[in-house]
Amino acid sequence: MSDARVARSRRFLVCEPRHFAVQYAINPWMHPDKPVDVDLAQEQWQALIGAYRAHGHTVDSVEPVPGLPDMVFSANAAFVVGGQVFGSLFHARERRPESVHYDTWFKAAGYDVYRPESVSEGEGDLVWTGRYVLAGTGFRTTREAHREVQEFLGHPVIGLTLVDPYFYHLDTALFVLDDDNVCYYPEAFSPGSREVLRRLFPDAVLATRDDALAFGLNSVSDGRNVFIAPRAEALAERLAGHGYVPVPVDLSEFHKAGGGIKCCTQEIR
């Protein structure tokens, strides 16, 4: 079945983890008393970039800034659809300076950047399906930001409520497989949001809590290849059974900050 899946080349924006560290705690994964192995983080990050390029994807990079240890999580910096850039306004004050540097990169690349008035954390909570935007709320991005996204982009926005603090961003609980389907962990969502997802994606690949805790849902798919955490073995097998090709990439050092593959990957559409 995998031969029927079609990979499409993507353009990704990333940020080297030169200054990556866990210096504060803004989610349940973060423990400042547990040191980060920066050399290992660099090695893992380079492996991710190598995997993207080996599969035909373009990778651009933002220069990391000292004092911004979470800047490596480029997905949180913006949401880009059709060349329109909806910027970020982070919930945590520690991360708010990151937005300036990403905005500068986008403007230098020729993009106009919309500055949200409400808390919005980019692709952390905003997921493009090819037809509409799935938008998470509950811990970070606000419903007011959902309205801003719809007004700015002119695409329908479907709000989804997250209820488990371990899955504080939508991209820790759901990812898009292709133009027709998604993979998600149902119990990360409120009952009403689960029903919405069931109706929208009746053939979705469903994940377990173990899959989600292994950062299996913080994955990136190009329509055929799924770049996924190696510990999410059961989910990888399930995806393979649906015709996708798992590409394991270990970003375990970034799990200490509550991030993984998708968190380190901003897609420019």
Report the catalytic residues.
169, 263
Are residues 177 and 1 in contact, defined by beta-carbon separation less than 8 angstroms?
no
Q: Which helix (H) or strand (E) holds 29?
A: none
Question: Could you write out the DSSP letters of every residue in 173-235?
Answer: TEEE-SSS-EEE-GGGB-HHHHHHHHHH-TTPEE--HHHHHTTTTS-EE-SSEEEE-TT-HHH
Which amino acid belongs to residue 103?
D
Q: How many CB atoms lie within 10 A of CB 150?
A: 17
Assign 22 to helix, strand or coil.
Answer: coil
Extract the tokens encoding 176: 């898009």
237 vs 235: CA distance, rounded Å:
5
Closest CA to 5 of 249, 202, 241, 175: 241
* C-alpha separations of 108 from 12, 71, 103 in Å: 16, 18, 9
Extract the tokens encoding 215: 């950062």
The partner residues of 189 in beta bridges, in order of sequence, read 162
Assign 143 to helix, strand or coil.
Answer: helix
Largest CA distance in the chain: 47
